[in-house]
Amino acid sequence: MKAGGLIAGLAVGGIIGIVIGAYGLGGGDTNQTAATDGGQVESTPSGGPVRWKMASAFGSQWPIQGELGIRLVDKVDAVSGGSMKIQFFEPGALVPALEIFDAVSSGAIDAGFTSAGYWAGKVPALQFFTAVPFGPDAMEYAAWLYYGGGYEIYDEIYKPFNIKALHCGVHSPEGSGWFREPIESIDELKGLKMRFFGLGARVMEKVGVSTQLLAGGDIFPALELGTIDATEYSMPIIDLNQGFYQIAKHYYFPGWHQPSSIFELMINVEKWNSLTDQQKAIVEIVCGDNYRAGLGLGEAAQAKALTELKNKGVTFHKWPDETIEVLRAAWQEVAEEEAAKDEQFRMVLDSFNAFREEYKVWADLGYVR
């Protein structure tokens, strides 16, 4: 695994934080608020018990995605000695998955476990904080997010929406699509109706696909009813769980659109500001450990899932090199078009590209490619 030292660092940091954060968390149950000069209401840390409701975009029984959400609430409970409890709510139980942003922003709910790419229609630049076509693997991603300026940009983007968000998990490359029939050439993609996520959807539109964004739980019914002709969603273990193989038997790789994918914990900023520094550290440490857990879970689970899918009659395909190059060129077009329309998108793209260019020197020297 690349950059093993970073994983070790996260783990050591987590242990230190657990020792510090698990004590001294008693206190009252009242949160005080005060108005800032700008009129925004901020909470004064009370140190009292925390009882939050968290809407998830991913079902609790879903491998990795839901698993990391459940792990998050369990670990916060354990590390805080029970003084901090976050209640996990299944998709749609509090609000529909694609409405979590607005609900957290308004304070209608305390928190959400989701993915920043779902908010493409609201803030296009946030898509960089889930996955980027032909982008980095999980370790290079962590380098940019935590030590290359990515997190600071992410934090600033969310501030006007009264949201504090933390990177709170990651998983391995995805498959790039489920199709009823083999795709013999890129021209056969034209006219297909396909569920697709994030910036990759814009790339697919460039080659003639009609895309729509559906939350995970809505994909199977749409595929079954013929509302969509094809879909991408996630990696083999998660796609197996979703049952797409029952309808579409042709599974394509590699997941050029999501070489790695980041999850986020969104918190209403007033709720976040009501935490003490120790309580904030607990949430940050658990999210960092969730990143580590996602790395291991994502890599460990795929081989068995692929074997099971094969036994269910699924045929695996790899896109030919010429198709990949067409998609890569389309991504470059999309990136420049989006940056020309949106100053914030340009800012993130420039940071992202500058880091990757600098990192490439080390990557080419340090790793077997």
| Residues 150-190: tens digit of each pLDDT | 999 999 999 999 999 999 999 999 999 999 999 999 999 99
Task: Count up the domains in the chain and report the number.
Answer: 1
Residue 305 in any domain: the answer is no
Check the CA dihedral 162-77-291-324 and report its sign: negative
For tokens 């395909």, name the residue.
317
State how far the Cα of 279 lies from the Cα of 80, in Å rounded to an integer: 8
- In what helix (H) or strand (E) does residue 115 lie, and over which residues does it extend? none
pLDDT of residue 47: 74
For the stretch 115-130, pLDDT in tens is: 999 999 999 999 999 9
Burial class (CB in 10 A: 0-12, 13-18, 19+), 146: middle
Domain membership of residue 187 (yes or no) is no
Considering only residues 83 and 29, tell me which one the structure prediction assigns the higher pLDDT. 83
The percentage of the chain sitting over the pLDDT mark of 70, rounded to a whole number, equals 88
| Token output for 162 | 């009264």
For residue 43, pLDDT over 70 is answered with no
Does residue 43 sit within a domain? Answer: yes
Q: Please check the confidence at residue 95 and state whether its pLDDT lies above 50.
A: yes
Q: What's the mean pLDDT in 42-46?
A: 67
- Provide the CATH number for the domain around residue 41: 3.40.190.170
* pTM of the predicted protein model: 0.85
Is 345 part of a structural domain of the chain? no
Q: Which residue has the tokens 């954060």?
A: 21
Q: Does 197 fall in a domain? A: no
Residue 135 inside a domain? The answer is yes
pLDDT of residue 313: 98
CA angle 74, 127, 232 (to 5 degrees): 80
pLDDT at 6 over 80: no
In a domain, 270, yes or no: yes
Q: Give the per-residue pLDDT at 365.
A: 96
Whether 337 is covered by a domain: the verdict is no
Query: In 3D, which of 155, 137, 156, 228 has the Cα closest to residue 191?
Result: 228
- By residue range, what is the domain housing residue 282? 4-171+259-300
Give the separation between CA 351 and CA 340, rounded to whole angstroms.
15
Size (the chain), residues: 369
Average pLDDT, the chain: 90
What are the φ and ψ backbone dihedral angles of 33, each rounded to 5 degrees? -125, 155
User: pLDDT confidence of 15, banded at 50, 70, 90?
Assistant: very low
